Amino acid sequence: MERTPDGTPVGVDDPYAVAGVCDHLTDDGRCRFALTRAGDDPEFAAERRRNGYACHVGADGKWRACPHYRSTTDGRECYRCGLSEVRLAHDDARPLVEEHHLSYGDAESSSLDTDGAESPSADTDGAGPHEITVALCRWCHTKVHKSFARIDDDASPDPEAVAARESRRSKEQSESAFETASERFDREE
């Protein structure tokens, strides 16, 4: 199983097996990185421009071959247990679902610093560092890092996670309930 620089497991043997399509891939198959960030890698952008900005990975989905591959999560639902995020406006509470970086590359050059920030690394195929993330609820995130739990385990949400989600949902529903002015003033007196 892949590990962080601290030695904790990240819950997957091959991050590319669970990663999705590249975040830079447009609906029409072009490379957004080459279109919008040509100055960051002029040689790469020039090659893409010669090919009409077509993604050079193609339909095969062999993302390791792309030096700018990135697959990040939308963070709406836990990949492992399916717990959905409930965020309340104007509430600074910790999110229920967090971004979980997967470790990749060789053991000498890991993809994550000890604080979870991306650091330079080399992919096992020499393509370079790739950012690959999935969404995990706080409870699954802890299980993955503190044990040998895998992100693809058939898991149910932790009872504490369900309680936290339901508490937020009830608060959300109470805030959106309609009260007439007379009801509000009667309650205040």
pTM for this entry: 0.75
Report long-range pairs for 158-165 (Cβ below 8 Å, ≥24 apart).
158/81, 161/81, 161/83, 161/96, 161/137, 162/83, 164/96, 165/83, 165/84, 165/86, 165/96
* pLDDT one-digit tens code per residue, 125-174: 444 578 899 999 999 999 999 988 999 999 999 999 999 999 999 988 88
Question: Which amino acid, 149?
Answer: A
* pLDDT one-digit tens code per residue, 66-125: 999 999 998 899 999 999 999 887 788 899 999 998 854 443 333 333 334 333 333 334
Mean pLDDT confidence for 36-41: 94
Cα 73 to Cα 76: distance, rounded to the nearest angstrom:
8
Q: Please, what is the Cα angle at 19 between 35 and 97, to 5 degrees? A: 105
Look at 20-24, 44-48, 87-91 and tell me which has the smallest mean pLDDT. Answer: 87-91
Provide the residue count of the chain. Answer: 189
Q: Please, what is the Cα angle at 112 between 106 and 113, to 5 degrees? A: 120
Banded model confidence at residue 187, pLDDT cuts 50, 70, 90? low
* pLDDT one-digit tens code per residue, 112-122: 333 343 333 33
